[in-house]
Structure 1
Amino acid sequence: MTDELHALEQNKTWSLVQQPPGKRVVGSRWIYKIKFKYDGSIERHKARLVARGFTQTFRVNYKETFAHMAKMNLVRVLLSVVVNYGWPLYQMDVKNSFLHEVLQEEVYLQPPPGSNGLKDNMMCKLHKAIYGLKQSSRARYAKLNSVLEKARFVRSNVDSSLFVKTGTNGKLVVLIYMDYLIITGDNAVEIEALKRSLHQKFSIKYLGRLKYFLGIEMATSSNGLFLHQCKYVLDLLQEVNMLDCKHAITHVDCKLRLNIEGEAMYDVSYYQRLVGKLIYLTITCPDITYAVSLVSQFMHSPIVDHLHIVKRILRYLKGSIGQGIIMRNNKSATISGYTDEDWAGNALDRKSTTGYCTFVGGNLVTWKSKKQQVIARFSAEAEYRAMAATTCELI
Structure 2
Amino acid sequence: MDVKAAFLNRNLVEVVYLLQPKGFKEEGKDHLMCRLKKFVYKFKQVSHQWYLKFDEAVTSLVSVENKVDKCIYFKISGSKFIFLILYIDDILLVSSDLRMLQETKKLLTKQFDMKDFGEASYVLGIAIHRDRSRHLLGLSQSAYMDRVLKRFFMLDYKNGAVPIVKGDKLSLVQCPKNDVERESMKAIPYASAIGSLMYAQVCTR
8 Å CA contact 1:153–1:165 kept in 2: the answer is yes
Q: Structure 1 residues 198 and 152 mapped into 2: Cα distance closer, same or farther (>3 Å)?
A: closer
CA–CA distance in 2 between the matches of 1:119 and 1:175?
Answer: 46
- Measured after TM superposition, the shift of residue 110 of structure 1 is 4.8
- Measured after TM superposition, the shift of residue 241 of structure 1 is 2.8
In structure 2, the residue matched to 1:102 is 11
- Measured after TM superposition, the shift of residue 261 of structure 1 is 2.5
Gapped runs of 5+ residues in structure 2?
A: 177-181
Q: Which of 229, 254, 257 lines up with 2:169 in the alignment?
A: 257
Aligned length: 192
In structure 2, the residue matched to 1:125 is 35
CA–CA distance in 2 between the matches of 1:190 and 1:237?
Answer: 41
CA–CA distance in 1 between the matches of 2:141 and 2:78?
Answer: 38
- Measured after TM superposition, the shift of residue 169 of structure 1 is 8.0
In structure 1, the residue matched to 2:199 is 280
- Measured after TM superposition, the shift of residue 152 of structure 1 is 4.1
CA–CA distance in 1 between the matches of 2:20 and 2:106?
Answer: 35
TM-score, length basis structure 1: 0.43
- Measured after TM superposition, the shift of residue 225 of structure 1 is 2.5
CA–CA distance in 2 between the matches of 1:226 and 1:171?
Answer: 19
Give the RMSD, CA atoms, in angstroms.
Answer: 2.7
Residues 124-154 of structure 1, C-alpha deviations (whole Å, 9 max, x = no match): 4322223321211221111111111221421
CA–CA distance in 2 between the matches of 1:162 and 1:146?
Answer: 13
Residues 7-41 of structure 1, C-alpha deviations (whole Å, 9 max, x = no match): xxxxxxxxxxxxxxxxxxxxxxxxxxxxxxxxxxx
* Aligned ranges 1:1-395 → 2 under 5 Å: 92-110=1-19, 117=24, 123-167=33-77, 170-221=80-131, 222=134, 224-245=136-157, 247-251=158-162, 252-264=164-176, 265-266=182-183, 267-268=185-186, 270-283=189-202, 365=205
Q: Structure 1 residues 234 and 276 mapped into 2: Cα distance closer, same or farther (>3 Å)?
A: same
TM-score, length basis structure 2: 0.78
Task: Give the SS at the match of 2:139.
Answer: strand
8 Å CA contact 2:15–2:35 kept in 1: the answer is yes
8 Å CA contact 1:117–1:124 kept in 2: the answer is no
- Measured after TM superposition, the shift of residue 123 of structure 1 is 4.8
CA–CA distance in 2 between the matches of 1:154 and 1:182?
Answer: 16
CA–CA distance in 1 between the matches of 2:78 and 2:139?
Answer: 33
8 Å CA contact 1:117–1:123 kept in 2: the answer is no
Task: Give the SS at the match of 1:159.
Answer: coil
Task: Give the SS at the match of 2:58.
Answer: helix
More strand by share: 1
